[in-house]
Amino acid sequence: MSGRLIVCPTPIGNLEDITLRVLAALREADLVACEDTRHTRVLLDRYGVAAKLVSYHEHNEPERSAELVRRMHGGETVALVSDAGMPLVSDPGFVLVRACVAAGLAVEVLPGPSAALAALVASALPADRWRFAGFLPRKRAELERVLQAQETLVAFESPRRLAASLAVLAELDPDRRVAVCRELTKVHEEVVRGTAAELAARYAEAPPRGEVALVVGPARAPAERDPTPALEAVRRLVASGAKPRVAASVVAELTGASANALYRGLT
């Protein structure tokens, strides 16, 4: 009788975020495939799970996947975990899942922690339409294409490269709304929200530490860039007694227009 694969998301920082279903699956499994056996052992020891571990990472995926498929055909249950979050989401696992599907083996995916989803919600940016870009590309041309997304963009970024990526975004659209989510679920968790220009300046002076998830608000479509309606709204607010700079900022946040352009348009 064939076994099966259980894809198990693990905590992205706080070990208490493990789910009861994942713990049950880890206890049930004949074998747990993980990126770093030492890292996973810390989690298992925390909850008293005595599982047999085998390494499964980007450097041995093809060979290990073939081995695990053979074992599942022999009736074993394999649990797949990554060091943090959902396997396959910027982590190893795709080769194994694809091999299981091709071999006709059952694949069960358990819900659980995800840095991408946590960052999206914490950003306070639109979540009705969004896409995940994995790690941002290093080449500027490719980076610019990614940053032109018409929906909210969620990506991972190295703390060493964050300032440079934000600088590129600030050149494209300084008023684009951004959230930098750092060390999610950990002791030093921090979510910083602002415009691309503001955050580019902040992190140019003091690069962040730890793991970073970057959330970028939708790029404005060309048709949405006509500032006339927004400018009229600013003028009405100013006529009602609001300060021009404040009025421009409020309307910009509501409409996605450029606050600087609206302010300049008053003169």
**223 or 203, greater pLDDT:** 203
- State the CATH architecture for 115-216: 2-Layer Sandwich (3.30)
- State the CATH architecture for 4-109: 3-Layer(aba) Sandwich (3.40)
* Band of residue 195 on the pLDDT scale cut at 50, 70, 90: very high
* Band of residue 94 on the pLDDT scale cut at 50, 70, 90: very high
Share of the chain above pLDDT 70, in %: 97
Q: Which of 58, 22, 55, 11 is nearest to 37 (CA)?
A: 55
97: pLDDT strictly greater than 50? yes
Q: Are 112 and 8 in contact (CB under 8 A)?
A: yes
Q: Which of 142, 157, 149, 159 is nearest to 126 (CA)?
A: 149
What pLDDT, on the 0 to 100 scale, is given for residue 46? 96
What pLDDT, on the 0 to 100 scale, is given for residue 223? 44
CA pair distance 67, 177, nearest whole angstrom: 46
Tens-place pLDDT, residues 53-85: 999 999 999 999 999 999 999 999 999 999 999
**96 or 257, greater pLDDT:** 96
Q: Is the dihedral of CA 10, 11, 15, 19 positive or negative?
A: negative
| Lowest mean pLDDT, pick from 41-55, 61-75, 232-246 | 232-246
Q: Quick one: average pLDDT of 18-44?
A: 97
Q: Are 72 and 102 in contact (CB under 8 A)?
A: no
Neighbours of 116 (CB within 10 A): 24
253: pLDDT strictly greater than 90? no
Q: Residue 139: exposed, middle, or buried by beta-carbon count in 10 A (0-12, 13-18, 19+)?
A: exposed
What pLDDT, on the 0 to 100 scale, is given for residue 170? 95
Domain borders along the chain are 4-109, 115-216, 222-265
Please name the amino acid found at residue 133: A
